[in-house]
Amino acid sequence: MKTQHAVRALAGLALTLAVVGCHEPTVWPYTGPRVYLIQGTDKERSDGLAPVRDALLEHEINAAIYSPDDWLKIVIDIDKDPDEEAILVGHGHGAFLCTQVVRHYAQHHKTKFIKRVITVDAFNKDWPHRCEMRPGAKNQVPPEPMPIGHNAQFVHNVIQRTPGSAWGTDIVSTRNSNVAEEHPYYWYDNYWYTRPFTGQPIAATDLTSKGVDHETIDNDRALVDRILTLCRQAALSPFHYTPLEHHPHGEASRSKQPANRGTKAARG
Protein backbone atom coordinates (compact mmCIF):
# COMPACT_ATOMS: atom_id res chain seq x y z
CA MET A 1 0.00 0.00 0.00
CA LYS A 2 2.80 2.42 0.90
CA THR A 3 4.52 1.61 -2.38
CA GLN A 4 1.36 2.45 -4.31
CA HIS A 5 1.05 5.77 -2.47
CA ALA A 6 4.69 6.55 -3.25
CA VAL A 7 4.21 5.75 -6.93
CA ARG A 8 1.10 7.93 -7.06
CA ALA A 9 2.94 10.77 -5.32
CA LEU A 10 5.83 10.58 -7.79
CA ALA A 11 3.39 10.45 -10.70
CA GLY A 12 1.58 13.48 -9.35
CA LEU A 13 4.87 15.33 -8.90
CA ALA A 14 5.93 14.48 -12.45
CA LEU A 15 2.57 15.68 -13.77
CA THR A 16 2.85 18.90 -11.80
CA LEU A 17 6.34 19.56 -13.13
CA ALA A 18 5.18 18.85 -16.65
CA VAL A 19 2.29 21.31 -16.31
CA VAL A 20 4.28 24.00 -14.54
CA GLY A 21 7.31 23.67 -16.81
CA CYS A 22 10.96 24.34 -16.07
CA HIS A 23 10.59 28.10 -15.64
CA GLU A 24 10.17 28.05 -11.88
CA PRO A 25 12.28 30.10 -9.44
CA THR A 26 15.33 28.30 -8.14
CA VAL A 27 15.11 27.00 -4.56
CA TRP A 28 18.17 28.48 -2.85
CA PRO A 29 19.67 26.99 0.32
CA TYR A 30 20.63 30.35 1.83
CA THR A 31 19.46 33.94 1.99
CA GLY A 32 21.57 36.63 0.39
CA PRO A 33 23.14 37.17 -3.04
CA ARG A 34 22.75 34.60 -5.81
CA VAL A 35 25.48 33.55 -8.24
CA TYR A 36 24.15 32.45 -11.63
CA LEU A 37 26.80 30.31 -13.37
CA ILE A 38 25.84 29.99 -17.05
CA GLN A 39 27.77 27.34 -18.93
CA GLY A 40 28.36 27.20 -22.67
CA THR A 41 27.07 24.66 -25.16
CA ASP A 42 28.08 21.00 -25.11
CA LYS A 43 31.06 21.77 -27.37
CA GLU A 44 32.30 24.49 -25.02
CA ARG A 45 33.97 22.88 -22.03
CA SER A 46 32.66 24.79 -19.03
CA ASP A 47 33.96 22.26 -16.49
CA GLY A 48 35.53 25.01 -14.40
CA LEU A 49 32.10 26.27 -13.28
CA ALA A 50 31.41 23.12 -11.23
CA PRO A 51 34.23 23.66 -8.67
CA VAL A 52 33.25 27.34 -8.48
CA ARG A 53 29.68 26.35 -7.59
CA ASP A 54 30.78 23.76 -5.03
CA ALA A 55 33.23 26.11 -3.32
CA LEU A 56 30.66 28.92 -3.12
CA LEU A 57 28.11 26.59 -1.53
CA GLU A 58 30.72 25.50 1.02
CA HIS A 59 31.00 29.16 2.01
CA GLU A 60 27.20 29.44 2.28
CA ILE A 61 26.85 31.49 -0.89
CA ASN A 62 23.98 30.64 -3.23
CA ALA A 63 25.26 29.30 -6.55
CA ALA A 64 23.75 27.20 -9.33
CA ILE A 65 24.69 26.24 -12.89
CA TYR A 66 22.39 27.07 -15.80
CA SER A 67 22.41 26.33 -19.51
CA PRO A 68 22.68 29.04 -22.21
CA ASP A 69 18.97 28.42 -22.97
CA ASP A 70 17.80 29.24 -19.42
CA TRP A 71 16.92 32.88 -20.20
CA LEU A 72 13.41 32.73 -18.71
CA LYS A 73 14.46 30.60 -15.74
CA ILE A 74 17.06 33.16 -14.66
CA VAL A 75 14.86 36.19 -15.25
CA ILE A 76 11.92 34.63 -13.39
CA ASP A 77 14.17 33.84 -10.44
CA ILE A 78 15.55 37.38 -10.29
CA ASP A 79 12.05 38.86 -10.61
CA LYS A 80 10.81 36.73 -7.70
CA ASP A 81 13.20 38.45 -5.27
CA PRO A 82 14.39 41.61 -7.05
CA ASP A 83 15.96 43.00 -3.87
CA GLU A 84 18.48 40.17 -3.69
CA GLU A 85 21.80 40.92 -5.36
CA ALA A 86 22.59 39.02 -8.56
CA ILE A 87 26.04 37.94 -9.76
CA LEU A 88 26.37 36.53 -13.28
CA VAL A 89 29.20 34.32 -14.57
CA GLY A 90 29.10 33.10 -18.16
CA HIS A 91 31.30 31.05 -20.48
CA GLY A 92 31.02 31.00 -24.29
CA HIS A 93 27.33 31.13 -25.22
CA GLY A 94 26.62 31.49 -21.50
CA ALA A 95 28.54 34.78 -21.50
CA PHE A 96 26.27 36.01 -24.27
CA LEU A 97 23.24 35.20 -22.09
CA CYS A 98 24.84 37.20 -19.25
CA THR A 99 24.88 40.31 -21.42
CA GLN A 100 21.26 39.77 -22.45
CA VAL A 101 20.07 39.38 -18.84
CA VAL A 102 21.89 42.56 -17.81
CA ARG A 103 20.43 44.54 -20.72
CA HIS A 104 16.97 43.22 -19.88
CA TYR A 105 17.24 44.92 -16.48
CA ALA A 106 18.73 48.08 -17.99
CA GLN A 107 15.37 49.00 -19.50
CA HIS A 108 13.74 52.02 -17.91
CA HIS A 109 10.76 50.08 -16.53
CA LYS A 110 13.06 47.47 -14.97
CA THR A 111 16.12 49.34 -13.67
CA LYS A 112 17.90 46.75 -11.53
CA PHE A 113 21.61 46.89 -10.86
CA ILE A 114 23.57 43.67 -11.37
CA LYS A 115 26.27 43.40 -8.70
CA ARG A 116 28.99 41.78 -10.83
CA VAL A 117 29.35 40.13 -14.24
CA ILE A 118 32.22 37.81 -15.24
CA THR A 119 32.42 36.72 -18.87
CA VAL A 120 34.92 34.16 -20.19
CA ASP A 121 35.42 33.54 -23.93
CA ALA A 122 32.23 35.45 -24.72
CA PHE A 123 30.54 34.30 -27.92
CA ASN A 124 28.63 36.97 -29.84
CA LYS A 125 25.67 35.11 -31.32
CA ASP A 126 24.53 38.13 -33.33
CA TRP A 127 27.31 38.14 -35.89
CA PRO A 128 28.84 37.91 -38.46
CA HIS A 129 28.05 41.03 -40.43
CA ARG A 130 31.00 40.36 -42.74
CA CYS A 131 32.46 37.18 -44.20
CA GLU A 132 35.81 38.00 -42.58
CA MET A 133 34.24 37.36 -39.17
CA ARG A 134 33.39 33.74 -39.88
CA PRO A 135 35.56 31.05 -38.22
CA GLY A 136 38.28 29.88 -40.58
CA ALA A 137 37.82 32.79 -42.98
CA LYS A 138 40.85 34.17 -44.78
CA ASN A 139 42.20 37.26 -43.00
CA GLN A 140 39.71 36.64 -40.22
CA VAL A 141 38.87 39.51 -37.90
CA PRO A 142 37.43 39.19 -34.36
CA PRO A 143 33.63 39.37 -33.95
CA GLU A 144 32.08 42.75 -33.27
CA PRO A 145 31.99 43.99 -29.67
CA MET A 146 28.97 42.85 -27.66
CA PRO A 147 26.94 45.39 -25.64
CA ILE A 148 26.23 44.91 -21.95
CA GLY A 149 23.85 47.02 -19.88
CA HIS A 150 25.14 50.10 -18.10
CA ASN A 151 23.40 48.80 -14.96
CA ALA A 152 26.20 46.24 -14.40
CA GLN A 153 28.22 47.63 -11.49
CA PHE A 154 31.39 45.59 -12.16
CA VAL A 155 32.26 43.73 -15.36
CA HIS A 156 35.23 41.39 -15.83
CA ASN A 157 35.84 40.10 -19.35
CA VAL A 158 38.40 37.33 -19.95
CA ILE A 159 39.53 36.69 -23.52
CA GLN A 160 41.24 33.51 -24.72
CA ARG A 161 41.26 34.12 -28.46
CA THR A 162 42.78 31.52 -30.79
CA PRO A 163 43.34 31.54 -34.57
CA GLY A 164 40.03 30.98 -36.32
CA SER A 165 38.14 31.48 -33.07
CA ALA A 166 34.54 32.63 -32.85
CA TRP A 167 34.98 33.40 -29.15
CA GLY A 168 36.77 36.07 -27.20
CA THR A 169 34.39 38.93 -27.93
CA ASP A 170 35.09 42.39 -26.54
CA ILE A 171 32.40 43.78 -24.22
CA VAL A 172 31.09 47.34 -24.55
CA SER A 173 28.92 49.07 -21.94
CA THR A 174 25.74 50.79 -23.09
CA ARG A 175 26.53 53.68 -20.74
CA ASN A 176 26.00 56.96 -22.66
CA SER A 177 25.30 54.92 -25.79
CA ASN A 178 22.59 55.06 -28.43
CA VAL A 179 20.97 51.83 -27.15
CA ALA A 180 21.19 52.48 -23.41
CA GLU A 181 17.61 51.48 -22.58
CA GLU A 182 16.61 49.51 -25.65
CA HIS A 183 15.43 45.94 -25.33
CA PRO A 184 18.37 43.53 -25.72
CA TYR A 185 16.80 41.88 -28.75
CA TYR A 186 17.60 45.05 -30.69
CA TRP A 187 20.86 43.30 -31.52
CA TYR A 188 19.01 40.57 -33.42
CA ASP A 189 17.18 43.18 -35.52
CA ASN A 190 20.62 44.46 -36.55
CA TYR A 191 21.88 41.08 -37.76
CA TRP A 192 22.25 41.75 -41.49
CA TYR A 193 23.53 45.31 -41.40
CA THR A 194 25.75 47.34 -39.12
CA ARG A 195 24.13 50.10 -37.12
CA PRO A 196 26.69 52.43 -35.56
CA PHE A 197 27.01 51.59 -31.87
CA THR A 198 28.60 53.95 -29.39
CA GLY A 199 29.52 52.76 -25.93
CA GLN A 200 32.23 52.49 -23.31
CA PRO A 201 34.69 49.60 -23.94
CA ILE A 202 35.25 47.28 -20.97
CA ALA A 203 38.87 46.51 -20.17
CA ALA A 204 39.59 42.83 -20.80
CA THR A 205 42.07 40.33 -19.43
CA ASP A 206 43.60 38.80 -22.57
CA LEU A 207 45.16 35.38 -21.93
CA THR A 208 45.86 34.66 -25.60
CA SER A 209 49.58 35.31 -25.17
CA LYS A 210 49.79 32.56 -22.52
CA GLY A 211 49.48 29.83 -25.13
CA VAL A 212 45.79 28.99 -24.76
CA ASP A 213 44.92 26.44 -27.43
CA HIS A 214 41.17 26.15 -26.94
CA GLU A 215 38.31 28.13 -25.43
CA THR A 216 37.67 26.58 -22.05
CA ILE A 217 38.02 27.24 -18.34
CA ASP A 218 38.87 23.69 -17.35
CA ASN A 219 42.61 23.94 -18.08
CA ASP A 220 43.55 26.94 -15.95
CA ARG A 221 43.20 26.52 -12.19
CA ALA A 222 44.37 30.09 -11.63
CA LEU A 223 41.45 31.38 -13.72
CA VAL A 224 38.96 29.21 -11.82
CA ASP A 225 40.33 30.50 -8.50
CA ARG A 226 40.13 34.08 -9.77
CA ILE A 227 36.47 33.65 -10.71
CA LEU A 228 35.78 32.14 -7.29
CA THR A 229 37.47 35.04 -5.48
CA LEU A 230 35.57 37.65 -7.50
CA CYS A 231 32.27 35.91 -6.74
CA ARG A 232 33.03 35.72 -3.02
CA GLN A 233 33.99 39.39 -2.92
CA ALA A 234 30.81 40.39 -4.76
CA ALA A 235 28.70 38.26 -2.41
CA LEU A 236 29.76 40.39 0.57
CA SER A 237 26.51 42.27 1.03
CA PRO A 238 25.72 45.11 3.45
CA PHE A 239 22.29 43.50 3.88
CA HIS A 240 23.55 40.09 5.05
CA TYR A 241 26.10 39.07 7.67
CA THR A 242 28.99 36.99 6.38
CA PRO A 243 30.67 34.82 9.05
CA LEU A 244 34.40 35.43 9.30
CA GLU A 245 35.21 31.86 8.26
CA HIS A 246 33.43 32.50 4.94
CA HIS A 247 34.98 35.89 4.28
CA PRO A 248 37.25 35.79 1.18
CA HIS A 249 40.06 37.48 3.10
CA GLY A 250 39.46 35.69 6.38
CA GLU A 251 41.73 32.70 5.78
CA ALA A 252 44.66 34.84 4.64
CA SER A 253 44.43 37.26 7.57
CA ARG A 254 44.25 34.46 10.14
CA SER A 255 47.17 32.62 8.61
CA LYS A 256 49.37 35.70 9.02
CA GLN A 257 48.64 36.08 12.73
CA PRO A 258 51.65 35.26 14.96
CA ALA A 259 51.46 32.25 17.21
CA ASN A 260 50.35 32.84 20.81
CA ARG A 261 53.44 33.33 22.94
CA GLY A 262 51.65 33.23 26.28
CA THR A 263 50.79 35.91 28.86
CA LYS A 264 53.15 38.41 30.46
CA ALA A 265 53.18 36.34 33.63
CA ALA A 266 54.18 33.23 31.75
CA ARG A 267 56.98 35.14 29.98
CA GLY A 268 57.97 36.73 33.35
The pLDDT, as a whole number, for residue 158 is: 87
77 pLDDT band (50/70/90 cuts)? very high
Torsions phi, psi of 79, nearest 5?
-65, -30
Strands 204-206 and 155-159: parallel
* Statement: residue 53 has pLDDT above 70: yes
* C-beta atoms surrounding 124 within 10 Å: 24
The pLDDT, as a whole number, for residue 106 is: 86
Residue range 6-48, pLDDT digits in tens: 344 334 434 333 434 557 889 999 988 999 999 998 888 888 8
Of 121, 118, 148, 122, give the one whose Cα is nearest residue 52.
Answer: 118
Residue range 189-229, pLDDT digits in tens: 555 555 656 677 787 877 766 665 556 676 578 888 889 99
The pLDDT, as a whole number, for residue 70 is: 93
Across residues 126-135, what is the average pLDDT? Answer: 63
Residue range 86-105, pLDDT digits in tens: 999 999 889 999 999 998 99
User: What's the CA gap between 214 and 48, in Å, rounded?
Assistant: 14
Q: Please report, for the chain, the start and end positions of each structural domain, with discontinuous segments joined by +.
A: 34-238
- Cβ distance 174 to 103 under 8 Å? yes
User: What's the CA gap between 154 and 117, in Å, rounded?
Assistant: 6
Q: Is the peptide bond before 128 cis (omega within 30 degrees of 0)?
A: yes
- Cβ distance 156 to 206 under 8 Å? no
User: What's the CA gap between 247 and 250, in Å, rounded?
Assistant: 5
Residue range 131-188, pLDDT digits in tens: 776 666 777 776 778 888 889 999 999 887 665 566 678 888 888 776 766 666 655 5
Across residues 60-77, what is the average pLDDT? Answer: 94
At the topology level, CATH places domain 34-238 in: Rossmann fold (3.40.50)
Chain CA centroid to CA 193, Å? 29
* Statement: residue 2 has pLDDT above 60: no
- Cβ distance 98 to 136 under 8 Å? no
User: What's the CA gap between 30 and 170, in Å, rounded?
Assistant: 34
Q: How far is CA 170 from CA 107, 114, 215, in A?
A: 22, 19, 15
Q: Is the peptide bond before 33 cis (omega within 30 degrees of 0)?
A: no
